[in-house]
């Protein structure tokens, strides 16, 4: 068996990551650094655990790859020095030699989204106000990743305070899509998704309020999973938050494995591909032309749905019994109310000068809202829960596109129009994601292919609240019916 055959065999290992490798160390001979970055996170974990490769070799391979491509894509920021990272990798090797195994991410390089603190790393939140901030402690999420054995190499780029699905800021600049570095990677987990798509990272963490795990997943042809909001939170009040953290992966198995690491709620160890026969899928499309949609997106999604129909699923076009304009009012009201806590930045002329216009606008909108607006928004949201319950009594899953546009120029802050329809706010073009966000339900982005220009797109698969395993097992089955995740971009080198 040669190295290429071993890499192919790795896809079978991913389905059963608890099994040991049965190949010899001689398979890791020629051209080692270039090949290691192509291992799935699951296979890489097994290879390290069973000493078919070393943590030092893995780190050297990733650093070489990052230095070759990251200057072009700008996915990973605030990196530690190579010497320090190699030192940590050797320390991980020494621990393994002593029989001290830290967890499935033992010695695996990881970069955390720059909206969350990791002790000793720069923590800017994409804001010039915090350009020089160094985190003193780990967030709970970072602590779980560190406890699993990961080595933190730096952060992943994000827009200022995570606002907008375009990962640019005045400190680090813009992040490019793995499939074309001149186009946006999406956001706010854009650095994470680009890092995955370019194979500069094995897995990635992100967060999602308005599609920030899903949209970048679509724009980089990777998996982004927004869990039910109680999966990542210790809040026992029963209220569903608008935002949640979540995992991203190059495939579904890696995404599940990483979710098991970062989740607060216990996640089932075993996930099996769903039998698609008689699975009921509601195709929402563009919500009966309510949403402006760039040409080609619906066709790609419908082609993927046809492959599911061929596998035995029942796909039916339907439309929620709901005024979508009410849902938009509900969304913007609740979202703006969340910006009230940032009013102190607005009130101080020095800090206001450092805020991007979109954030200033959101803060100003929060100041205009009334108690009546809040009550009306909460009533609409409660009615939306009821409508979701009705839909899920008829269907197993709801499907609609992940984005309303293909990746666009990273020099453009946000799309001003779609198919000659003006976008009246900086986030109107992302409206397609609010159905899942307002429900607090599990949603996964799965790839649907590429347009004639080679731009990737994805589709949202939504499940009922708490049915995360069901959504993930569907995604495992979907992955078997398509080959989109097997495709690799032609990377642009910095040298």
Q: Are 400 and 292 in contact (CB under 8 A)?
A: no
What lies within 8 Å, CB to CB, of 22 at 6+ separation is none
Note whether 41 and 202 are within 8 A (CB).
Answer: yes
What global pTM score does this model have?
0.94
CA distance 218 to 405: 10
Let me know: does 14 contact 39? Beta carbons within 8 Å: no
**Mean pLDDT per 10-residue section of the chain, whose length is 495 residues:** 38 37 42 72 96 97 97 98 98 98 98 98 98 98 98 98 98 98 98 98 98 98 98 89 98 98 97 98 98 98 98 98 98 96 97 97 97 98 98 98 98 98 98 98 98 98 98 98 96 93
**pLDDT in the model for residue 2:** 36
Strand stretches in 29-93, DSSP E? 76-77
Q: For residue 315, list its beta bridge partners.
A: 281
DSSP 14: G
* Domain 3-318+395-486 = CATH 3.90.1300.10: yes
**Interatomic CA distance for residues 440 and 381, integer angstroms:** 11
User: How is residue 39 annotated by DSSP?
Assistant: S
Select from 284, 310, 314, 309 the least CA-distant residue to 297. 284
Q: What are phi and psi of 182, to 5 degrees?
A: -80, -15
Of the candidates 156, 267, 151, which has an alpha carbon nearest to the alpha carbon of residue 206? 156
Number of CB atoms found within 10 A of residue 461's CB: 25
pLDDT score recorded for residue 11: 39
Give residue 25's pLDDT.
52
The confidence score (pLDDT) of residue 3 equals 36
From residue 436, how far is each of 43, 262, 459, 470 by CA, in Å? 32, 21, 12, 16
Residue with tokens 């990635």: 204
pLDDT of residue 54: 97
User: Tens digit of pLDDT for each residue in 315-337?
Assistant: 999 999 999 999 999 999 999 99
Contact 179, 197 (CB under 8 A): yes
pLDDT at site 234: 87
């Amino acid at each position: 068996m040669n190295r290429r055959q071993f890499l192919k065999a790795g896809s079978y290992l991913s389905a059963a990551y608890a099994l040991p490798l049965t190949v010899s160390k001689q398979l890791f001979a020629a051209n080692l650094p270039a090949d290691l970055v192509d291992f799935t996170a699951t296979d890489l974990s097994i290879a390290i655990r069973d000493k078919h490769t070393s943590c030092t070799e893995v780190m050297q391979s990733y650093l070489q790859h990052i230095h070759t491509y990251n200057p072009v894509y700008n996915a990973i920021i605030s990196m530690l020095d190579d010497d320090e990272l190699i030192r940590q990798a050797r320390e991980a090797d020494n621990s393994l030699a002593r029989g001290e195994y830290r967890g499935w991410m033992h010695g695996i390089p990881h970069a955390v989204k720059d909206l969350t603190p990791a002790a000793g790393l720069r923590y800017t939140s994409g804001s010039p106000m915090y350009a020089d901030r160094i985190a003193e402690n780990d967030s709970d999420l970072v602590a779980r990743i560190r406890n699993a054995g990961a080595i933190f190499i730096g952060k992943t780029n994000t827009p200022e305070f995570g606002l907008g699905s375009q990962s640019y800021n005045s400190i680090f600049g813009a992040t490019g899509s793995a499939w074309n570095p001149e186009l946006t990677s999406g956001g706010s987990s854009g650095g994470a998704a680009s890092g995955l798509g370019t194979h500069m990272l094995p897995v990635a963490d992100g967060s999602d309020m308005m599609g920030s795990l899903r949209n970048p997943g679509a724009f980089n042809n990777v998996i982004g999973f927004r869990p039910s909001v109680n999966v990542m939170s210790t809040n026992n009040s029963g209220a569903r938050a608008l935002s949640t953290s979540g995992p991203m992966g190059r495939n579904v198995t890696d995404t599940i494995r990483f979710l098991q690491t970062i989740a607060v709620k216990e996640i089932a160890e075993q996930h099996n591909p769903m039998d698609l026969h008689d699975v009921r899928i509601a195709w929402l499309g563009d919500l009966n032309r309510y949403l402006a949609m760039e040409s080609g997106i619906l066709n790609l999604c419908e082609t993927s749905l046809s492959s599911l129909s061929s596998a035995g699923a029942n796909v039916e076009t339907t439309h929620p019994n709901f005024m979508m304009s009410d849902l938009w009012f509900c969304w913007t009201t609740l979202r703006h109310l969340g910006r009230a806590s940032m009013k102190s930045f607005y009130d101080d002329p020095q800090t206001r000068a450092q805020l991007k216009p979109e954030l200033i606008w959101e803060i100003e909108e929060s100041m205009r809202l009334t108690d009546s607006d809040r009550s009306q928004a909460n009533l609409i949201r409660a009615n939306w829960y009821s409508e979701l319950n009705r839909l899920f009594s008829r269907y197993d899953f709801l499907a609609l596109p992940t984005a309303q546009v293909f990746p666009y120029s990273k020099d453009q802050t946000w799309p001003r129009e779609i198919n000659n329809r003006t976008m009246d706010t900086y986030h109107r073009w992302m409206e397609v994601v609010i159905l899942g966000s307002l429900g607090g339900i599990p949603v996964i982005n799965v790839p649907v292919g590429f347009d004639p220009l080679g731009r990737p797109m994805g589709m949202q698969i939504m499940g009922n609240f708490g049915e995360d395993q069901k959504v993930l097992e569907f995604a495992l089955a979907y992955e078997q019916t398509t080959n989109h995740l097997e495709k690799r971009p032609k990377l642009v080198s910095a040298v």
